[in-house]
Amino acid sequence: MRYQPHEFYLKRCIELSRMARAGGNTPFGALLTDEDGSILLEQGNIEITENICTGHAETALAARASHIYSKEFLWKCTLYTTAEPCAMCSGAIYWANIGRVVYAMTEKRLLELTGSDEQNPTFDLPCRDVFARGQKDIRVIGPFPALEQEAAEVHKGFWNH
């Protein structure tokens, strides 16, 4: 597959977030591409239906990827996601050795959407800050203001705040 623009993959993540919500989970989606742009894995949030507190899309995807691919291979991969990875997801990405992250909307914008909803007590901690404390130069690209509204739309009416 020929590598597509970031927006192509982010739009697929937004579709995955719609599917997660329709399936009874919080509305987040992520996917993993190889260095050529082929989609290797897709993942929506699973924390509610699977009753797993770490069931965020990025963490579940990083765990799956680490079972399938080597750390050397994953370093050349990109994780795309609807919202900036939280501290937990950033840690999972770091430990899986995924070399690049691309996200549509910031965690700060997500916090505006979720408010004080206890289902998602969102951090105000940019993933760049989490990665900067580590020993790996994980590349971060985002946000994408042109897609922020589309990513946020999936959250409307979901959170109790």
Instruction: Say what the pLDDT of residue 53 is.
Output: 83
Among this protein's residues, is 58 annotated catalytic? yes
DSSP state string for 30-94: EEEE-TT--EEEEEE--TTTTT-TT--HHHHHHHHHHHHS-HHHHHT-EEEEEE---HHHHHHHH
- Which residue's structure tokens are 């995924």? 98
CB atoms near residue 142 (< 10 Å): 22
CA dihedral (151, 153, 154, 157) in degrees, to 10, reads: 150
User: Which residues of the chain register pLDDT less than 50?
Assistant: none
Three-state DSSP class for 103?
Answer: strand
pTM flag (> 0.85): yes
pLDDT at 22: 96
Pick the catalytic residue: 35, 50, 58, 84? 58
